Amino acid sequence: MKRADGEETKRKIVLVALELFVRKGYHGTSITDIMNNVGLSKGSLYAHFKSKGEILLLIIEQYKARFIDEIIHFANDSEGNALDKLNRCISFSAKFASEHENLCVFLTFLTTELKADIDFEPMLKAVYRDYQRFISGIIRQGIIQGLVDKKTDPDLAALTFMALHDGMLHQWVLNRSLIDAKQYVRTFREIFIYGLASDKGRTKPQ
């Protein structure tokens, strides 16, 4: 029972810290902020985490496991072509953002703040590198299949996909009351997929 209670407290700490990091930034959030919002003494919080940085690293690990690893699995769990896989990536991202908003947007919001921090930059880059390699691989496959314009640079196209995705999340958080979510995702899908596709890819049913 004590172990279960301990895991539940740890989960609450992570969720509260995640929300505060998204709202106030990593450096703008103190251990006291986390402690007060969870309802723990500082000693009780340190019984679960050695530092605020350790909480952040765990959140990055969760983002990789629950978003990056799962989007790769979801896209590959299909016999479709490269454009089908890109469409599955977009569908997964939209669903994930609707169900886990803070986890989905926190790296988007914190990347600028953390990119020069030697404690977090290597892990941050590794997560994004895994994502880029996966998307780049799909695009490269699309070129081989004749569905993506052969002049496309897969690595740059993957970075463009990631940039559009992060920008969409940012604007969704700022303007959700003005945005039709389904139409928003459809617009992203059409702009990126159509812009990437060869003539064959544009005429082939998706």
Model confidence over 58-97: pLDDT tens digits?
999 999 999 999 999 999 987 889 999 999 999 999 999 8
The pTM of this model reads 0.85
Instruction: For the chain, give every domain's residue range.
Output: 1-50, 57-203
Instruction: Name the phi and psi angles at 197, rounded to 5.
Output: -70, 150
Q: Can you name the residues that pair with 148 across neighbouring β-strands?
A: 197
- Which residues, in sequence order, are CB contacts of 19 under 8 Å at separation 6+? 102
C-alpha–C-alpha distance, residues 90 and 191, integer Å: 12
Instruction: Assess whether the region 1-50 and the region 57-203 belong to the same CATH fold.
Output: no
Answer yes or no: is pLDDT of 144 > 90: yes
Q: Which is more confident, 201 or 18?
A: 18
Top-ranked range on mean pLDDT: pick from 92-101, 135-144, 183-192: 135-144
Phi-psi region of 198 (alpha: psi -120 to 50; beta: other; left: phi over 0): beta
* More confidently predicted of 177 and 142: 142
Superfamily designation of domain 1-50: Homeodomain-like (1.10.10.60)
Q: What is the mean pLDDT of residues 139-163?
A: 95
CA 19 – CA 137 distance, rounded (Å): 33
Q: Is the domain covering 57-203 a CATH 1.10.357.10 domain?
A: yes
Classify 114 as helix, strand or coil: helix
pLDDT value of position 105: 87
pLDDT at 73: 94
